[in-house]
Chain A
Amino acid sequence: MNLLVCIKQVPDTETKIKLNGDSTGIDPAGIKWIVSPYDEFAIEEALRIKEKNAGSTVTVLSAGPDRVVDALRTALAMGADNAVHVELPESADSFMAAKALAGAIKKEAPAELIFFGKEAIDDGAAQVPQLVAGFLGLPGCTVVCGLEYGSGTVTAKREIEGGSFEKVELPLPAVIAAHKGLNEPRYATLPNIMKAKKKEVKAVKLADIGVSQADQKIKLKNLQLPPPKQAGKKIEGDAATQAKTLVDFLRNEAKVI
């Protein structure tokens, strides 16, 4: 069985984000890049299915600039067998990324299960898994925190509003977008880290899969950082005064009541 995982390389969660010169994106200088944490659940789930089903392979794909090869090596070190780098400009949006990934999947790596993280932690768009499913004409399930693999189907447990869960059965092949709780991603063993360094990463060019700059639907014109966090306010006085001050604050400053 072929298992496929699409991952995104994102700035580390502790990064102090700076904007680039013309405010059309973030300044990549000095950023430490990591695999988006939800994508790690996706990798781990694919690896677990592989380990339970002899003869399976896990192929990991990432679309982005050359730097994303490091993310692919991280996935290889966790235990993925093959890696495909889909070359994509830094400015690409979800639509373009999804089209590129779908193109690469069709061209390079047909699979029974295609895993994603439910969203990337940089833009938090949560678009690509569904778009890829759409491009490929496959059923998909998002926010998956439990997965049972059966013959010809998978049953996904997904989180819905109100802290409830629903179970969805999908015929294979299918797209799964992983959520926290699906598993605990492993830490790569050293022999696998060593092996990953030597593995080939296959490159796919946009021209080969019919994707062009015209597929970028969203162009950022004026990206802004959120306003700096205000210091907390301590309400002094006796209970009655405190309550009065608080209500006043909520009504007139925060304007929520």
Chain B
Amino acid sequence: MTWETLAFLLVAGTAFGISGYKFSLLYKVMRAQTGKAPTFKDWGARIGQLFINVLGQKAVLQSRWVGTAHTMIFWGFIVITIGTLEQFAMTLYSGASFEFIGESAYYALIWSQDFFTLLVLVGVLMAAARRYLNPPKYLGQSSDANFVLIFTGSLMVSIFLMNAFHSLGNPWFKEAFFISSGIGNGIASLGFTEEQSHTGFTVFKWIHMLLVLGFAVFIPGSKHLHIIAAGPNTVLKHLPLERGMKSINFEDETVTQYGAAKITDFSWKDALDLYSCTECGRCESLCPAWNTGKPLSPKSLIVDMKKNLHANKAAIIAGKSEEVTPLIDANVTEDVIWACTSCRACEVACPVFIGHTDKIYDARRNLMMMESKFPAEVQPVFKNMETNGTPWAFSASDRANWAQGSDVKTLADIGSATELDAVLWVGCAGSYDDRNKSVLKSFVNVLHKAQIKFAILGTEEQCTGDAARRIGNEYLFQTLAKMNIETLNRYQVKRIITACPHCFNTLKNEYKDFGGDYEVIHHSTYLAKLIAEGRIKPAKEMKETVTFHDSCYLGRWNGIYDAPRTTLGAVKGVNLVEMKQNKETGLCCGAGGGRMWMEETIGDRINVKRTEQAIETGASVVATSCPFCMTMISDGVKTKDKVDAMRVMDIAEIVDQTT
């Protein structure tokens, strides 16, 4: 046994021992999480994710510059690790070379070591240039990041110098190390003896190995943990974009905690989310709350939750749940939790597929249902939903008044939905809010023009419960959902059309859990279909510059970006222009996640910021496809004093006016 073998056994044993211990704690903490994790199916698609988003780095590459740098570093490390393994093996036993793979393959391996070391070094320099020369604000300051860059850079330099010395006096390696042999030539010119060269090789080999082992100790306690966690997290991500919130089974009497009061109330998958965060800040850069001065940053939320998890590690592992400190603390305040508009811009931007919003909903469910702590102005909204089936303070008996004189039948009139093309779900805004009542009238006009056989539920319709669910009042949501499902099923409703993306999402994705399975079509899709089929023709010219504001519940929640644009594009004379934030990166109007019913007292108003983006386009019309967006953007236009220059219209109104 050489001194090198002995030394390596000692150092590597210690390093892997410490690292392994740290990882085992992380694993134990993850396993001790009590929340219910989702069930993972569809493994074919998950393997696909491994290729697309892990090996393929697709989501990472959404940011071109740093994504390219990351991909270079990522692939570089995979390849270099093969060389490092050989190095470890050969330090233990000098005959353990990977030469057995055949000479040409081994040549390729040695060649690739040099090539990928260069790739990583360039990647590190690109990342460093971004971080130190012109850092985006959302990147933040992180000592971990500085450390990782210096570490990785040093690692690559040590490899080059090690290989350079290795190539001295060794023609085969000199050829294979096509980059470092150049450095070797430079070193050779200094006149090293063969023995000195060998010492040089040994020195840099050990520097390299010590750096690698040091890294192994550093990783589990740092944000660099993502190199272990992000891969699995990507494979285990929510597969379909279209999804509802997870349901609570109130029949299960063994459940005594609803939502998350402590970090341990989340699931192991949530813990894996926390481990995966690299603090890249893409979530923060798009967050409507953060960008208008609210205390919520999705990045900080995840980082702070991770801090909470680490701080409670001992109690969690010891199984002393009563000693675990509350989730709501000095960092994750109630204001942080209530600031979210559930727009999901953070989730769409996240390259490692962290589910930020689920965590916020769990926190809200605890605050709402267990502690009865929520913004005071929401209480009358809940009471209205409970007694009148609408968040607005109007009588349930007035729900169908908007349709008087519009030749709209109710299902009570006709008895069953079986002979209808579709049931029109009006929604509370369409039923009670003056501006949105006229949107519904326009949509009804279009349906009449297209000779669609439809009916409404009239006074039997109730709020879908979307806002109650987003605010955390799952109990009220389920009460409303069950009543609506009972009504819909009683009339044998199969197909529903609606002009409200919130109703659309809830009916389509969230009623399934309670026995409500319907084909649900949002009016933007339905209008596009009617136009495509030639049932309506928007032939009248509308000479306007129009910009379309994406509703989050249509776009990011359900992936519908094209249908409303297709509809608007079909109108003669319309010049469609985009705001600087659109589609996946579109800015929320500020009303989602129950924010419609809360005061916006902190920071700037989100709707005003969005309206400013619309004004920048020079558009004369902002087209919306959501009643809440309609309200928020209309208010924004009034605030900006642009009522004369810019109209806010629903796409149904535009189609109605031009057909």
Q: Which residues of A contact B (CB under 8 A)?
A: 12-16, 30, 32, 34, 184, 186-191, 193-194
Contact = CB atoms under 8 A, between A and B. Distances in A.
B11 interface: no
B393 A13 contact: yes
B146 interface: no
Contacts of B376: 184
A252 B492 CA distance: 60
B292 interface: no
Contacts of A190: 258, 369-370, 475
A193 B478 CA distance: 14
B393 A14 contact: yes
B432 to A, nearest CB: 11
B201 interface: no
A32 B383 CA distance: 11
B440 to A, nearest CB: 20
Of the four ranges (under 10, 10 to 19, 20 to 34, 35 or more), the interface on chain B belongs to 20 to 34
Given A12-B388, A14-B388, A193-B475, A186 B372 contact: yes
B371 interface: yes
B436 to A, nearest CB: 19
Contacts of B382: 187
Interface stretch (B32-40, B315-323, B394-402): B394-402
Interface string B365-408: 00001111010100100111001100001111110000000000
Contact of B397 (A13, A30, A186, A194): A30
B346 to A, nearest CB: 28
Given A14-B387, A32-B387, A193-B475, A187 B393 contact: no
Contact of B256 (A15, A32, A191): A191
Given A15-B395, A16-B398, A189 B387 contact: no
Contacts of A187: 372, 374, 379, 382
B396 A32 contact: yes
Per CB-CB distance, the 7 closest pairs between chain A and chain B, nearest first, are A190-B369, A14-B395, A32-B387, A12-B387, A189-B372, A187-B372, A16-B397
22 contacts: A12-B388, A12-B395, A13-B393, A14-B394, A14-B395, A16-B395, A16-B397, A32-B388, A34-B387, A184-B376, A186-B372, A187-B372, A187-B374, A188-B372, A189-B369, A189-B370, A189-B372, A190-B258, A190-B475, A191-B256, A191-B370, A194-B250
Contacts of A14: 384, 387-388, 393-396
Contacts of A15: 395, 397
Interface of B: 250, 256, 258, 369-372, 374, 376, 379, 382-384, 387-388, 393-398, 475
Contacts of B370: 189-191
Contacts of A16: 395, 397-398
A189 B370 CA distance: 5
Nearest to B369: A190
A189 B256 contact: no
A186 B372 CA distance: 7
Nearest to A15: B395
Contacts of A186: 372
A15 B369 CA distance: 28
A43 to B, nearest CB: 14
Contacts of B372: 186-189
A62 B551 CA distance: 47
Contacts of A189: 369-372
Contacts of A194: 250
A193 B476 CA distance: 11
B42 to A, nearest CB: 33
Given A186-B372, A190-B369, 9 more contacts: A12-B395, A14-B387, A14-B394, A32-B387, A32-B388, A189-B370, A190-B258, A190-B475, A193-B475
A30 B459 CA distance: 11
A14 B379 CA distance: 16
A191 B248 CA distance: 14
Contacts of A188: 372
B393 to A, nearest CB: 6
The residue in A32, A186, A190, A191 that gathers the most chain B C-beta atoms within 10 A of its C-beta is A190
Nearest to B378: A187
A191 B366 CA distance: 11
The residue in B370, B395, B398 that gathers the most chain A C-beta atoms within 10 A of its C-beta is B395
B304 to A, nearest CB: 26
B512 to A, nearest CB: 23
Nearest to B379: A187
B280 to A, nearest CB: 37
B383 to A, nearest CB: 8
A14 B387 CA distance: 9
B407 to A, nearest CB: 24
A188 B369 CA distance: 8
Contacts of B387: 12, 14, 32, 34
Nearest to B259: A190
A14 B369 CA distance: 26
A188 B371 CA distance: 9
A219 to B, nearest CB: 29
A47 B376 CA distance: 19
A12 B388 CA distance: 8
Nearest to A79: B372
A15 B397 CA distance: 8
Contacts of B394: 14
Contacts of A34: 383, 387
